[in-house]
Structure 1
Amino acid sequence: MKMLKLTLCHLYPELLNLYGDSGNVLTLVKRCQWRGIDVNVINHNIGDKTDFKDVDIFFIGGGADGNLGIACNDINSIKPQLEFAIEQDRVLLAICGGYQLLGKYYKGKRDTVDGLGLLDFYTEAADKYFVGNIVVDTGDYYLVGFENHMGRTYLNGLNPLGHVISGFGNNGKDKTEGVRYKNVIGTYLHGPLLPKNPKLCDEIISIALKNKYNIEDLQELDDSLEIKARQHTLKSINNKFISFA
């Protein structure tokens, strides 16, 4: 049987890794390995000359405003490669600040930072943080996580990742959370996101396998521990949400 292998590129792990965001990479790797799928992880940092042509999954985490500015200056150099990857239906998961970088701009209290403009949305800073656990309905399953952001993101008609059941989401007004364009997933959910959301993690793996090997079926795993973690978070928000685990 042919060995299945995926390549994952972690963008700027030295700068953008708030709230254990690197745990998303670990989760993707482990859920692949448990199925006998090998994963090659490439770390791309400032100034690196990385060949992205064989990358199946891109990941970029969140970071402080200063670090985001540094990353943005460098990431423009790889923008054409990211644009090509997106239009080729490669997976890109972006968390919080990394999510904001995909848009047109981030307007802070003092300065406006140009984003990559890969997607037509924008973010503006508010006076207070949105902080706390969040529950999101994607239409196919529920996501649970933790948000902590001052930015208010407006999608300009793009499809959200989901709709807020409890929490704030993109801007606290329209009940949207994150963005979904082709196989680009942007979200404010930290925690990290994927350990408590195995269905999303497996969806990412499934997309990558279909792109590379035209494989549609993914072996099921025992997610009892993940479900318990979800139940704990959901119960802390409201007992009525436990059924969403």
Structure 2
Amino acid sequence: MSVLTLAHLYPREMNIYGDTGNVLVLRKRLQWRGMDAKVVGVHVGDPLPPDTDILLGGGGQDAAQGEIGRDFVSRGAELRAMADDGVVMLTICGTYQLLGHHFLTKDGRRIEGVGVLDVITTGSDQRLIGNNNIDTDWGRLVGFENHSGLTDLGPGAQPLGRTVAGRGNNGKDQTEGAVRDNVFGTYLHGPVLAKSPRFADELLSRALARRGEDPELEPLDDSLALGAADVAVRRPR
């Protein structure tokens, strides 16, 4: 039985909008197929598991991000090496921003990132908030955005998708999230994978392929998840 290692970054501090649910979704979708996941919580000062297959991080309040920011940046070389080695990463909101080059606050303070994703974020007085769904190569992704950091993509990153109803990365260019190889960043909370089953399976398939295992996954009945996505899309922002 295949067992994937899921490294969950800062599960206490970076879970303000239920992003831990992404970990639960991936593990359950493996279990439904006769596989499983070993979930390792990574707190400040903890080592990253050397056998990490999927790295997940969520969003948090600004105070929480300050507490973990130095720890995250101290892992920069290791995170860049993991990305270069094809480790699958899904980062939401705050950890998405920290994967970029830097965050420039609205008062001009520069917070360094780790440079895994070719993005920069600038603080603003504008808050982008509400239900959002985006068109991607893996179907529709559905979640909830709530951020005042405006993110712009450089040439080394592609958008995860295009916004249909929400504001996305910056409220200007209709992009949402960023992709580089097996690294994904997005502002979609919710948790996003609960209502985006095809994307959840894409992450699992990539992790299995990287290990040299069969990436083809047995189909599941996703009618409940897709129905929940339909309801969320119809709700007013």
Work out whether the TM-score is over 0.5. Answer: yes
TM-score interval (norm. to shorter): over 0.9
* Alignment equivalent of 1:93, drawn from 85, 90, 94: 90
Alignment of 1:48-87 (within 5 A): 48-50=46-48, 52-87=49-84
Q: How far has the Cα of 1:147 moved from its partner?
A: 0.3
Shift of 1:168: 0.2
Determine helix, strand or coil for the equivalent of 1:85: helix
Partner of 1:243: none
1:237: Cα distance to partner? 4.6
Aligned match of 2:27:
29
- Give SS of 1:18's match: coil
Deviation at 1:213, TM superposition (A): 3.2
Deviation at 1:199, TM superposition (A): 0.7
Q: Alpha carbon RMSD of aligned pairs, Å?
A: 1.4
**Residue number in structure 1 paired with 2:201:** 202
Counterpart of 2:8, as a letter, is H
Q: How does 1:63-212 map to 2 (within 5 A)?
A: 63-110=60-107, 111-157=109-155, 158-212=157-211
* Separation of aligned partners in 2, 1:41 and 1:214: 19
TM-score where L is the length of structure 1: 0.92
Aligned 8 A contact 2:105 2:122 in 1? yes
Unaligned runs of 5+ in 1: 239-245
* Alpha-carbon distance between aligned partners in 2 of 1:45 and 1:216, rounded to the nearest angstrom: 30
- C-alpha distance in 2, partners of 1:49/1:230? 36
Q: Which has the higher helix share?
A: 1
Distance (whole Å) between structure 1 residues aligned to residue 134 and residue 191 of structure 2? 15
Q: Does 1:8 align with 2:15?
A: no
Confirm or deny: 8 A CA contact 1:123 1:151 kept in the other structure: yes
Supply the distance in 1 between the matched residues of 2:209 and 2:99 (Cα, whole angstroms).
25
Q: Are the equivalent residues in 1 in contact too, given 2:120–2:151 (CA < 8 A)?
A: yes
Q: SS at 1:166's partner residue? A: coil
Q: Which amino acid aligns with 2:147?
A: H
Contact preservation (8 Å) 2:138, 2:198: no
Indicate if the aligned counterparts of 1:58 and 1:91 stay in contact, CA closer than 8 A.
yes
Deviations 1:217-242 (A, max 9, x none): 1011111110110111122259xxxx
> Which residue number corresponds to residue 242 of structure 1?
none
Q: Is the 8 A contact 1:161 1:186 kept in 2?
A: yes
Offset at residue 85 of structure 1 (A)? 1.1
Measured after TM superposition, the shift of residue 78 of structure 1 is 2.1
User: Partners in 2 of 1:33 and 1:106 — Cα distance?
Assistant: 38
Structure 2 stretches lacking a partner, 5+ long: none
Identity %: 45
Provide the C-alpha distance between the structure 1 equivalents of 2:67 and 2:181, rounded to a whole number of angstroms. 27
2:136 maps to amino acid: T
Residue 46 of structure 1 corresponds to which residue in structure 2? 44
Alpha-carbon separation, structure 1, partners of 2:174 and 2:141: 14
